[in-house]
């Protein structure tokens, strides 16, 4: 159940971490070493990104292997395309560094929020605001070749902040791209590709907690990861369709509804 929830909400802009924190608070006796189970589910959705965007990833990596001498012999369109992909590689690296600085600087404070459904609910309200504002941007039309340094830093900062449960990683980074004038497809693709090193890095940091698992728990963790991966593939396709239709405001209504409901539930 939690794997399916992760797979759907990692890519739909409603915060997978926030949903996991809230759902786990209703499961009697739920426990995990640190945030290992959450991270393993995120790793499942990372596999979904690698599978879905395997062509984009391959193109980015191949662009780094083309020598400068060969580059100048290519037709203009092909050369510009390769140079754009190289810039994206640099921007993904820069965005990852920005995210990493935020994550390492506030690691302890962020981990504490993973045990507070009320904190996640308040953050969902913020996610809703970001999505609502992004949906009101008129005709963002900048494409892949127009992604710039300030776009990258801004999106990297939002990805770092989205480590807090309730702040949707996909929602906040895509919203930032749209508000910066990037079109929906470019914003979504850069957001997903930027997530790869971030999620991989967090997974490596949590591997130390594997020693705290019993052998019987390995199967549970693997099943959760597979569920997250399979539903994640479906959610990526769905989000890319919704981005083109500019229907993010409906997700903002959902975030506000869920956030207010959890806050009121915990009050009364």
Evaluate whether 161 touches 171 at the Cβ level (below 8 Å). Answer: no
Say whether 17 sits in a helix, a strand or coil.
helix
Q: In the chain, what are the domain boundaries?
A: 2-267
Evaluate whether 7 touches 232 at the Cβ level (below 8 Å). Answer: yes
Q: How far is CA 211 from the centre of its chain?
A: 27
CA distance 151 to 173: 10
In degrees and rounded to multiples of 5, residue 143 shows phi and psi of: -105, -170
Q: Exposed (0-12), middle (13-18) or buried (19+): which is 179, by Cβ within 10 Å? A: middle
Tens-binned pLDDT, residue by residue, of the chain (268 aa):
999 999 999 999 999 999 999 999 999 888 888 788 988 999 999 999 999 999 999 999 999 998 888 888 888 888 889 999 999 999 999 999 999 999 889 988 888 888 899 999 999 999 999 999 998 888 888 999 999 999 999 999 999 999 999 999 999 999 999 999 999 999 999 999 999 998 888 888 888 888 888 888 888 999 999 999 999 999 999 998 888 777 788 999 999 999 999 999 999 8
The label of the residue with tokens 């290992």 reads: 36
């Amino acid at each position: 159940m939690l794997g399916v929830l992760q797979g759907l909400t990692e890519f739909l802009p409603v915060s997978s971490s926030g949903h996991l924190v809230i759902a786990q608070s209703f499961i009697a006796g739920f426990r995990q070493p640190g945030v290992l189970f959450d991270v393993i589910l995120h790793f499942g959705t990372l596999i979904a990104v690698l599978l879905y965007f395997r062509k984009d990833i391959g193109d980015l990596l191949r662009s780094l292997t083309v020598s400068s001498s060969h580059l100048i012999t290519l037709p203009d369109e092909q050369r510009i395309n390769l140079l754009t992909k190289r810039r994206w590689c640099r921007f993904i690296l820069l965005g990852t560094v920005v995210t990493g600085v935020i994550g390492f600087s506030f690691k302890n404070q962020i981990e504490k929020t993973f045990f507070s459904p009320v904190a996640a609910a308040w953050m969902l309200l913020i996610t809703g605001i970001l999505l609502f504002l992004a949906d009101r941007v008129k005709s963002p039309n900048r494409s892949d070749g127009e992604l710039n340094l300030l776009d990258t830093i801004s999106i990297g900062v939002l990805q770092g902040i989205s480590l807090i449960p309730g702040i949707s990683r996909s929602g906040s980074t895509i919203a930032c791209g749209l508000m910066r004038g990037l079109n929906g497809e470019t914003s979504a693709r850069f957001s997903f590709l930027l997530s790869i090193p971030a999620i991989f890095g967090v997974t490596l940091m949590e591997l130390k907690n594997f020693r705290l698992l019993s052998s019987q728990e390995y199967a549970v963790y693997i099943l959760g990861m597979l569920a997250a991966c399979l539903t994640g593939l479906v959610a990526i396709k769905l989000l890319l369709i919704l981005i083109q239709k500019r229907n993010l405001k409906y997700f903002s209504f959902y975030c506000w509804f869920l956030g207010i409901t959890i806050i009121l539930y915990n009050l009364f």
